[in-house]
């Protein structure tokens, strides 16, 4: 097994764990501010692991010079690893705003976006890579 194959699979395992934590956190009915902060943190971790997993996978497929989340997501969309490219770019943009969720209303807005918009597309990616991991 090539090093790149191992890297994306290791990253997938960590992504799976982070997604499990995020999913569990999203089940909390009416989360308080501290719980919302936890949801946002699990979202940030999940996204970070997701784009790095995609980058590692693409490198294993021979694509090089992918240096940023935007670059990894764009290339993954181009080669049909990701669907909903526009939504992924919105996720990236909103992920960059999570550092500013010290305000309770902003944290609440972000928690709703994660719950209703971003968790489902992260889950699609997770399920797609689960299938890739099981095929090998």
User: pLDDT for 17-28, tens place per residue?
Assistant: 999 999 999 999
% the chain with pLDDT above 70: 93
- The whole-number average pLDDT for the span 79-88 is 92
Is the CB of residue 122 less than 8 Å from the CB of residue 116? no
User: What distance in Å separates the CA atoms of residue 111 and residue 117, rounded to the nearest whole number?
Assistant: 10
What is the structure's pLDDT at 30?
Answer: 94
pLDDT reading at 66 higher than 70: yes
Rg over alpha carbons for the chain, rounded to the nearest Å, is 15
Task: State the chain's mean pLDDT as an integer.
Answer: 91
Per the model's pLDDT, the better-predicted residue between 100 and 127 turns out to be: 127
pLDDT reading at 1 higher than 60: no
pLDDT reading at 3 higher than 60: no
> Which stretches of 2-97 are DSSP H helices?
3-26, 33-60, 69-78, 85-97
Domains of the chain from N-terminus onward: 3-135 (1.20.120.330)
- The whole-number average pLDDT for the span 23-38 is 94
Taking the whole predicted model, whether its pTM rises above 0.75 is answered as yes
């Amino acid at each position: 097994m090539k090093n790149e194959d191992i890297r994306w699979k290791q990253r997938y395992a960590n992504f799976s764990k982070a997604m499990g934590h995020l999913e569990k956190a999203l089940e909390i009915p009416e989360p308080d501010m501290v719980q919302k902060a936890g949801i946002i943190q699990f979202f940030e971790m999940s996204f970070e692991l997701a784009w790095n997993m995609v980058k590692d996978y693409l490198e294993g497929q021979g694509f090089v010079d992918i240096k940023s989340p935007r670059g990894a997501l764009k290339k993954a969309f181009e080669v049909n690893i990701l669907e909903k490219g526009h939504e992924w770019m919105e996720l990236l943009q909103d992920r960059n705003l999570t550092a500013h969720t010290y305000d309770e209303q902003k944290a609440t807005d972000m928690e709703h976006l994660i719950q209703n918009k971003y968790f489902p597309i992260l889950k699609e990616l997770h399920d797609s890579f689960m299938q890739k991991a099981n095929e090998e």
